[in-house]
Chains A and B, each alone.
Chain A
Amino acid sequence: MQRVHLTLQVNGEAQEVSFAPYKTLLEVLREDMNLTGTKHGCELGECGACAVLVDGQPLLSCLELALECEGRAIETVEGLANGSALHPLQAAFADLGGAQCGYCTPGILMTAKALLEKEPEPSRERIREAISGNLCRCTGYQQIYESIEEGARRMREEA
């Protein structure tokens, strides 16, 4: 099948990439752009491990054709840190046990970032709702809530 050739905006950088047109954003990020920070747990939109931000909205990259992402702002876990300084959410997850095996972590970090950009001080209930599409088999979620709350607190301090 003829490959398509286009420019994707990933983490603020314009990158030319060519790929088979049936490929999902997940596949193009991981396989054609070497951005393996974004994970997959089902490739059917069931687990949330592949969540990235597209135009600021959390989106399951396994359900989105990369073709449809041309001209849209894509954010992945690789773009979260500011240089070598961790994003406050990342630091909080590392400090408070929000990441155990770390496999669901990129998807949850991106989902949490989108939440906090809209609601800088969400309640525990809002956090539970916001990440209810992201499965985690390790933590029991509690340390994830605490990491998001702490990340939010640090973000408000920085702001």
Chain B
Amino acid sequence: MNAPERLKQRTRFDTVGKPRRRVDGRAKVTGLTRFADDVVLPRMVHCKLLRSPHPHAVIEAIDFEKAARHPGVHLVLTGKDFPISYGILPVTQDEYPLANERVRYVGDPVAAVIARDEQTAGEAAELIEVKYRLLNTVSSAEDALANPEPRIHDYGEQGNIHRLQAFEFGDVAEALAGADHVFEDLFFFEGNTHLPLEQHASVAAPDGEGKLTLWSSTQVPHYIHRALARALRIPAAHIRVIACPNGGGFGGKCDLHNHEIVVSRASMLLGRPVKICLTREEVFYMHRGRHPVLMKMKTGVTREGKLTGMHLQTLLDGGGYGSYGVASTFYTGALQTVTYELPRYKFDACRTFTNKPPCGPKRGHGTPQPRFGQEVQLDKIAEKLGLDPAEMRINMVAKPDSLTANWLKIGSIGLEECIRQVVEHSGWKEKRANLPPGRGLGIACGSYLCGAGLPIYWNKMPQSGVQILADRSGQVTVFCGATEIGQGSDDMLAAFVAEVLGIDAFDVRLVTGDTGLTPVDLGSYSSRVTVMMGHAAIQAAERMREMIADAAAMELEVSPERLVMAQGRVFLSEDPSKGMTFAEAVVYAETKYGTLGTVGSYSPPRAPGRFKGAGVGPSPAYSYTAVVVETEVDQNTGWIHVPRIWVAHDIGRAVNPVLARGQVEGSIYMGLGEALMEEQVFRRLPPKMSHALVHKFPSLLEYKSPTSLDMPEVFTYLVEDPDPNCPFGAKEVGQGPLLPVMPAVANAIYDAVGVRIDEIPITPDKVLRALEKKAKGEVPRVGPEHFPQVPYPTPIYVKTPWEGGDGNETKPADRKQRQALAS
């Protein structure tokens, strides 16, 4: 039996599926996990950044003489030392490590001081005099549309519009015209931030050969390695990036950060280690978090509750730089077709530049905002049609092994089972609409990627690589560029290799996230690690297994097909007493084959979409989630209490159920924070001070996030429907479960007190305002009231798979001609 067949037929597992202590658990509970700020090196000096107090200004002069003379200062750097722009996406190279002539948000770094200690560096930074010429500021997406001048960047579509996108899959006007009902709603999702408990830190040092090593809190060491080589004009071979385990990432450590470039350059200039650790306030300025998005959603339905078509328009507030924003913009539309059957779909998107910290990817990247809109709108649709919102959803779930209107290939779907689970366990049928006033239940669903189909820079190379060494001691060492950010990346790697080789996960030694030692893996983002690294790990382990089994079989004088490798032994399947230890088998293999090393790699299957823009949305598989939220709303104060949440997640297969549950509950927690309290918002200082646009509360105390006292009881159900495109059937679990939380809360509040809050976060003041409207007989709704004129382009028109499409764009001329022919 060859390896793929053996894997497919595999039903019995020793490691996979068993609740286990994670392989890195001991280090985490003993304080031995070495985060970036725990790296301490001899002769190390410290860096502090001077940041702009203005949201938009031209730098006319910088005088750092006093700072340079301050005792204990080794080096002062300014924008002049960094003439090359950079950016994480090849299409948006719009940042400078230190502003070269313009600052674009309060917190944009302007100068760096490197000194004997942090205190001295901070004191000296205050001695730097910067002369700014202030420019008008843009504070919101609508502000950006209304004020094309001054331009925040001299690239982009026009004025302060960074990016416009428009797609139409099938004739949506026709679909809406043919619907029994058309629902049009406006929604707004306020920005919020990752708030990882670990503040970003980096240590750069020249090694014995004079080459650069950077230890950093990063989720993506490979992308950092690439971008750093470009930014510093140093050959990539002379740079080694080591991703320390992250103290939480959630997408906030996916950019190449300005401070990473600054300490790298400083360490090369000084010939000694340079460290920086951001303060909590600076972490708020680094941001790259959830985009504020205004949405207009027009949806056609039949009277039976089937979708006929949707037209979604989004308007994003991108902040001061590109970051991952072009991808975020695509993602506000791309996955809207994956959860439910949607025959036709049109999507227009616009990202604007504003004078605020740049937005980027946060858990769910671009998709929670439209997911919120759609799931609240479905609740309104169900009410209007007199349908049960859960039943209506079950009847419209997308079909497994199908293509969507926008040419995404879906594999397994366990959503129907997820909905049934949360309905049953929450007592949905008895309780919804029947609870006493002030109490309610709401349901919502969602789906998410198991890894982005394409890397962020164009190439056809593998997206994950794994190398395994085994030697005569019986030791197995696994190398992979994947990065542990808390989610259990290391544990997945060990589990996959251990399962194939029949050894214990704790017996696998791991070397991960080190561009100097490990094969490329693109990093911990887009929920890609389990699927992509898993495939690569299994391939490398299967190749190793083959050599070991072959050598053992020769020694035992049997054919290798008859051997089993399990529990640290290699033995005959029909007679387990006949065999040897794993370590003995490795000795025979090393004797027969020489030094033992194997590699495995993974590239996702090619996506069927061929139109420009088809690269965002494809994934090897999609996960599904259903959530029911219970709320209690105090009608006098508007206070919202969430006592219980039920969540079912279609994970394909849980590799380590302890970690899987932790990812689900962590997502519920983070989603609840977004639903009820978290917001990255800004205010203007009084005109007599500077009128500057500043972060409203860049502190952990004032940026509200749920504590243990706010957290409801969560009931988690894992639905395991193994996906054929995933390693041992395992899909993602780190992001998908967050998506339905916000709309389920909104829907539960409606069930409790009959008011619609069409924007996130849902705070007591908004609930009170809606209740007042209700009391006055007005429409009991709080949410955006208008959608501005946006110059969306003519959409790229693509025929759907079921209307004769081939995945390519149909040019307008062709389309008109064909329409004429058809009529």
Query: CB distance A95 to B711 under 8 Å?
Result: no
- Determine, out of B25-33, B203-211, B228-236, the stretch whose residues face the partner at the interface: B25-33
Query: CB distance A94 to B662 under 8 Å?
Result: no
Residue A15 interfacial (CB < 8 Å): no
Residue A136 interfacial (CB < 8 Å): yes
Residues of B within 8 A of A106 (CB): 31
By Cβ-Cβ distance, the 7 closest A-B pairs, closest first, are: A37-B31, A101-B486, A102-B28, A103-B247, A140-B669, A94-B25, A140-B665
Jot down 12 A-B pairs with beta carbons below 8 A, ordered by A.
A34-B40, A96-B658, A97-B661, A100-B486, A105-B28, A127-B708, A132-B708, A137-B196, A138-B666, A139-B666, A142-B714, A143-B661
**Cα distance, A135 to B245, chains bound together (Å):** 19
**Cα distance, A151 to B487, chains bound together (Å):** 23
**Cα distance, A99 to B22, chains bound together (Å):** 9
Residue A128 interfacial (CB < 8 Å): yes
Name the one of B25, B245, B699, B713 contacting A42, with C-beta atoms under 8 angstroms.
B699
Name the one of B25, B669, B699 contacting A44, with C-beta atoms under 8 angstroms.
B699
Residues of B within 8 A of A135 (CB): 197, 700, 705, 707
Residues of A within 8 A of B109 (CB): none
**Cα distance, A37 to B247, chains bound together (Å):** 13
Query: CB distance A132 to B707 under 8 Å?
Result: yes
| Contacts of B226-282 to chain A: CB distance below 8 A | 245-250, 279-280
**Cα distance, A101 to B247, chains bound together (Å):** 5
**Cα distance, A106 to B711, chains bound together (Å):** 21
| Contacts of A51-95 to chain B: CB distance below 8 A | 76-78, 80-81, 86, 90-91, 93-95
Residue B199 interfacial (CB < 8 Å): yes
Query: CB distance B709 to A78 under 8 Å?
Result: no
Query: CB distance A36 to B31 under 8 Å?
Result: yes
Q: Interface 1/0s, chain B 652-688, versus A by CB < 8 A?
A: 0000001101100111111000000000000000000
Residue A121 interfacial (CB < 8 Å): no
Residue B21 interfacial (CB < 8 Å): yes
Residue B198 interfacial (CB < 8 Å): yes
Name the one of B119, B666, B700 contacting A100, with C-beta atoms under 8 angstroms.
B666
How many Å from the CB of A133 to the closest CB on chain B? 8
Residues of A within 8 A of B22 (CB): 94, 97
**Cα distance, A76 to B31, chains bound together (Å):** 9
Residues of A within 8 A of B713 (CB): 142
**Cα distance, A156 to B667, chains bound together (Å):** 33
Residue of B nearest to A101 (CB): B486
**Cα distance, A156 to B708, chains bound together (Å):** 24
| Contacts of B180-224 to chain A: CB distance below 8 A | 194-199
Query: CB distance A139 to B30 under 8 Å?
Result: no
| Contacts of B448-478 to chain A: CB distance below 8 A | none
**Cα distance, A148 to B670, chains bound together (Å):** 22
Q: Which residues of B does A touch, CB under 8 Å?
A: 21-22, 24-35, 37-38, 40, 119, 194-199, 245-250, 279-280, 485-488, 658-659, 661-662, 665-670, 699-701, 705, 707-709, 711, 713-714
**Cα distance, A49 to B247, chains bound together (Å):** 11
**Cα distance, A105 to B198, chains bound together (Å):** 12
Residues of A within 8 A of B669 (CB): 137, 139-141
Query: CB distance A138 to B28 under 8 Å?
Result: no
Query: CB distance B197 to A103 under 8 Å?
Result: yes
Residue A131 interfacial (CB < 8 Å): yes
Known A135-B707, A141-B708; 19 more pairs at CB < 8 Å: A36-B38, A38-B31, A39-B35, A39-B197, A44-B280, A44-B699, A90-B29, A90-B30, A94-B22, A95-B21, A100-B486, A103-B35, A103-B198, A103-B248, A135-B700, A135-B705, A138-B662, A139-B666, A142-B714
Residues of A within 8 A of B279 (CB): 43
Name the one of A30, A41, A78 contacting B199, with C-beta atoms under 8 angstroms.
A41
Query: CB distance B247 to A142 under 8 Å?
Result: no
A39-B247 CB under 8 A given contacts A137-B196, A138-B662, A139-B669: yes
Residues of B within 8 A of A129 (CB): 708-709
Query: CB distance B40 to A138 under 8 Å?
Result: no
Query: CB distance A104 to B662 under 8 Å?
Result: no
How many Å from the CB of A22 to the closest CB on chain B? 8
Query: CB distance B40 to A102 under 8 Å?
Result: no
Name the one of A80, A100, A109, A132 contacting B709, with C-beta atoms under 8 angstroms.
A132
Residues of B within 8 A of A102 (CB): 24, 27-29, 33, 245, 247, 486
Residues of A within 8 A of B28 (CB): 93-94, 99, 101-102, 105
How many Å from the CB of B681 to the closest CB on chain A? 18
Residue of A nearest to B657 (CB): A97
A46-B700 CB under 8 A given contacts A94-B25, A139-B669: yes
Query: CB distance B197 to A94 under 8 Å?
Result: no
Residues of A within 8 A of B196 (CB): 101, 103, 137
Residues of A within 8 A of B33 (CB): 102
Residue of A nearest to B670 (CB): A137
**Cα distance, A99 to B26, chains bound together (Å):** 9
Query: CB distance A140 to B666 under 8 Å?
Result: yes
Residue of B nearest to A124 (CB): B713
A143-B26 CB under 8 A given contacts A47-B197, A137-B705: no
Main secondary structure of the interface of A (DSSP, over half): loop
A86-B26 CB under 8 A given contacts A94-B21, A135-B707, A137-B705: yes
How many Å from the CB of A10 to the closest CB on chain B? 13
Listed residue (B249, B250, B658) with the most chain A CB atoms within 10 angstroms of its CB: B658
Query: CB distance A36 to B40 under 8 Å?
Result: yes
Residue of B nearest to A102 (CB): B28
Query: CB distance B30 to A86 under 8 Å?
Result: yes
**Cα distance, A57 to B37, chains bound together (Å):** 26
Query: CB distance B665 to A94 under 8 Å?
Result: no
Residues of A within 8 A of B488 (CB): 100
Query: CB distance A78 to B31 under 8 Å?
Result: yes
**Cα distance, A11 to B40, chains bound together (Å):** 22
Residue of A nearest to B703 (CB): A46
Listed residue (B27, B38, B194, B198) with the most chain A CB atoms within 10 angstroms of its CB: B198
Residue of B nearest to A41 (CB): B197
How many Å from the CB of A138 to the closest CB on chain B? 5
| Contacts of A104-159 to chain B: CB distance below 8 A | 104-106, 109, 127-129, 131-145
A143-B662 CB under 8 A given contacts A103-B35, A137-B195: yes
Residues of B within 8 A of A142 (CB): 665, 711, 713-714
A49-B711 CB under 8 A given contacts A86-B29, A94-B25: no
Query: CB distance A141 to B198 under 8 Å?
Result: no
Query: CB distance A40 to B700 under 8 Å?
Result: no
Residues of B within 8 A of A40 (CB): 37, 199
Listed residue (B22, B31, B665, B666) with the most chain A CB atoms within 10 angstroms of its CB: B31
Name the one of B34, B246, B487, B709 contacting A128, with C-beta atoms under 8 angstroms.
B709
A101-B246 CB under 8 A given contacts A41-B700, A137-B197, A142-B714: yes
Residues of B within 8 A of A143 (CB): 658, 661-662, 665
Residues of A within 8 A of B29 (CB): 77, 86, 90-91, 93-94, 98-99, 102, 105, 109
Query: CB distance B670 to A78 under 8 Å?
Result: no
Residues of B within 8 A of A20 (CB): 119
Residues of B within 8 A of A145 (CB): 708
Query: CB distance B25 to A99 under 8 Å?
Result: yes
Name the one of B665, B668, B700 contacting A47, with C-beta atoms under 8 angstroms.
B700
Residue of B nearest to A106 (CB): B31
Listed residue (A80, A141, A144) with the most chain B CB atoms within 10 angstroms of its CB: A141
**Cα distance, A15 to B279, chains bound together (Å):** 29
Residues of B within 8 A of A47 (CB): 197, 700
How many Å from the CB of A74 to the closest CB on chain B? 14
Residues of B within 8 A of A105 (CB): 28-29
**Cα distance, A78 to B32, chains bound together (Å):** 8
How many Å from the CB of A63 to the closest CB on chain B? 13
**Cα distance, A39 to B36, chains bound together (Å):** 11
Query: CB distance B661 to A42 under 8 Å?
Result: no
How many Å from the CB of A100 to the closest CB on chain B? 4
**Cα distance, A77 to B669, chains bound together (Å):** 26
Listed residue (B28, B246, B708, B711) with the most chain A CB atoms within 10 angstroms of its CB: B708
**Cα distance, A35 to B700, chains bound together (Å):** 24
